[in-house]
Amino acid sequence: MSLRHLVRLTRIDALLAWRSRLPHVVVALAVGFGLLVRFALPADFEPGVSLYVHDGTPDAVFSGWLAEALPDAQRPASDEALRAAIADDATSVGLSLSGTPEAPRATLRWQGHESPQGRAIMETTAWGLWVEHGGLPRPSAHTLTLLRPQAAPVPFNLTFLPLILAMDTIFLGGLFVAAMVFQDKGAGTLAAWRIAPPSSAAYLGSKLLVNAGLALLYTLIVVPLGGVGGADWPALLALVLVASVIMSAGGALLGAWFESMSAALYPMAFFSIVLSVPIFVYTVPGVVVDAARWLPTWPVIFGFRELLFPTGREGALLTALAPLVPWVVGAVAFAWYSVDRRLMREVS
């Protein structure tokens, strides 16, 4: 690959991206999402369930705590009333306390859609109520040793930033590169280049570089505007670049193997849905999809979270980059082959 060809093609692609208003789109999205996170989404929000508790102990030992902790509507007078209350409220969980400190009993009533983690938390809560308010002897204390300082909780609005950052790096990046290739096809640029074609590596590399610049521009706007102050910037930008290369190579593949954006619509939608599975797991922690760990979006999204809100974990960048190495090599190699065979040589 000639460095002169790479520089020339990069300048051409950067100019075409500017004329196509791609930087304008990136800046508008970054500003819009940054303002959304900063001012529209609440910083304090605890999604949870409504808890209905019935005190069925002989001496009503929990009555004092219940009167302070829950409104009357969430303190049914009987177990039958408890069942009726949770049947009417699909977001609720019921807890019936009975027995004595010598023979404590707690019955949890579920809706059926709770995660294993949520059930474990409620079971621990029921046991804790007997210890704190029911007279159950407290177990012997244990020494707690922190392996590293506890990280500050991430505000609710900022938890969306890894997803917002991934949206441009993962999804829009591939779309932009595919659009650039389709534009070259429609404008007759590829037909002209086949007379004296540049190297396939220079053609692909110029588009990867332009899209990497757009990804960095998006990151440098949306992260500070969103209100993140302690991000690990060098590691974050490195992960953005690697993710951008993978997804941009994917966009070049679509551009090489399909004739137009409309023809690539369904494959693009399919791959977008598959790559979005880690986003679903991120937003719903109770869902476990082990196969999603093999997708490139998994280390990218969870790596973004760790680098945006460092917890002190050592080797966070290496942990995120290591699974991406095969994806980088495979995506770039296949993209180069496709560009060389399908675009530069017009092999059908």
Taking Cα atoms as reference points, which of 324, 213, 245 lies closest to residue 278?
324
Nearest-angstrom CA–CA distance, 122 and 93: 9
Nearest-angstrom CA–CA distance, 255 and 183: 9
What pLDDT is attached to residue 284?
A: 78
Three-state SS for 64-117 is: HHHHHHCCHHHCCCCHHHHHHHHHHCCCEEEEEEEEECCEEEEEEECCCCCCHH
Taking Cα atoms as reference points, which of 261, 269, 277 lies closest to residue 176?
261
pLDDT per residue rounded down to tens, the chain (348 residues): 578 888 989 999 999 999 999 999 999 999 999 999 999 988 887 656 788 999 999 888 898 888 888 898 899 989 899 999 998 988 889 999 998 888 889 999 988 877 777 788 888 888 888 888 888 777 766 677 766 676 778 898 999 999 999 988 878 889 999 999 998 888 777 776 666 667 889 999 999 999 999 999 999 999 999 988 888 999 999 999 999 999 999 999 999 999 888 999 999 999 999 999 999 889 876 677 888 999 999 999 999 999 999 887 888 899 999 999 999 999 999 999 999 888 887 544
Paired with 55 in beta bridges are 97
What pLDDT is attached to residue 348?
A: 40
What pLDDT is attached to residue 344?
A: 80
Nearest-angstrom CA–CA distance, 180 and 178: 5
Q: Torsions phi, psi of 215, nearest 5?
A: -65, -40
What pLDDT is attached to residue 173?
A: 86
Domain boundaries, the chain: 3-42+155-344, 50-133
Nearest-angstrom CA–CA distance, 24 and 39: 22
What pLDDT is attached to residue 286?
A: 65
42 burial via Cβ count (<10 Å: 0-12, 13-18, 19+): exposed
Among left, alpha and beta (phi > 0; psi -120 to 50; other), residue 286 is: alpha
Contact 225, 31 (CB under 8 A): yes
Chain center to CA of 321: 16
Q: Torsions phi, psi of 214, nearest 5?
A: -65, -40
What pLDDT is attached to residue 181?
A: 92
What pLDDT is attached to residue 19?
A: 92
Among left, alpha and beta (phi > 0; psi -120 to 50; other), residue 284 is: beta
